[in-house]
Amino acid sequence: CVVIRLHRSDPVQRRRPRSRPYQSRKIALGAMPMLKFGALAIRTLSKPIANAIKKRAIEHDLFRARCANFAQWWHRVEVRLSVHLTGHTVTKVQPLSEAQAVSAGADILGEGVVFSIAALLLFAENRYSSAKEVIKQAALA
């Protein structure tokens, strides 16, 4: 018999007895918010790292050239794809100026760093939870 309480001050309280597995899950759930908090902190810290990499990319000559070339390529692909999706054909894509290309390349590089760190964290979290599941299955067997 389960009674739904609408208010905390309700004098009638019938509780369903808790089983042991629920209590053990309660302990395991305490670690999960800390893991999520740690992942959020690392992602937050990755943004200044990405900004520092972008700044270095703009200052370093070879890195600047690589970023500009990648940004020009990315611009051509993006324009061709967007025009192709409208049903037209592209004959020539006007290139970005050098300053725009370096800025766009540095932005792409910075976003790639943030994405890579986030993907690494998701991979680590998935691996942690699957290892935990294997241990749980081994304990039940």
- Short-list 119, 79, 71, CA closest to 97: 71
Query: Is the Cβ–Cβ distance between 95 and 101 less than 8 Å?
Result: yes
Secondary element (H or E) of residue 92: none
Residue 1's pLDDT is 46
Secondary structure of residue 89 in the 3-state scheme: coil
Q: Are 101 and 75 contacting, i.e. CB atoms less than 8 angstroms apart?
A: yes
Is 70 within 8 Å of 96 (Cβ atoms)? no
Q: How far apart are CA 120 and CA 2, in angstroms?
A: 44
Q: What is the DSSP letter of 2?
A: -
Structure tokens at 61: 């000559």
> In 10 A of CB 92, how many CB atoms?
6
Written as six digits, the tokens of 20 are: 């042991």
Q: What is the pLDDT of residue 124?
A: 84
Its pTM stands at: 0.60
Q: Check residue 2 and give its pLDDT.
A: 45
Q: Sign of the C-alpha dihedral, residues 24, 27, 31, 37?
A: positive
Asked whether the CA dihedral 22, 25, 30, 33 is positive or negative, the reply is negative
Give pLDDT tens digits for 76-132. Answer: 999 999 999 998 888 899 999 998 998 898 888 888 888 888 888 888 888 888 888
pLDDT digits (tens, 9 = 90+) for 4-47: 444 555 455 555 555 555 444 444 445 566 777 777 787 788 77
**pLDDT of 73 strictly over 90:** yes
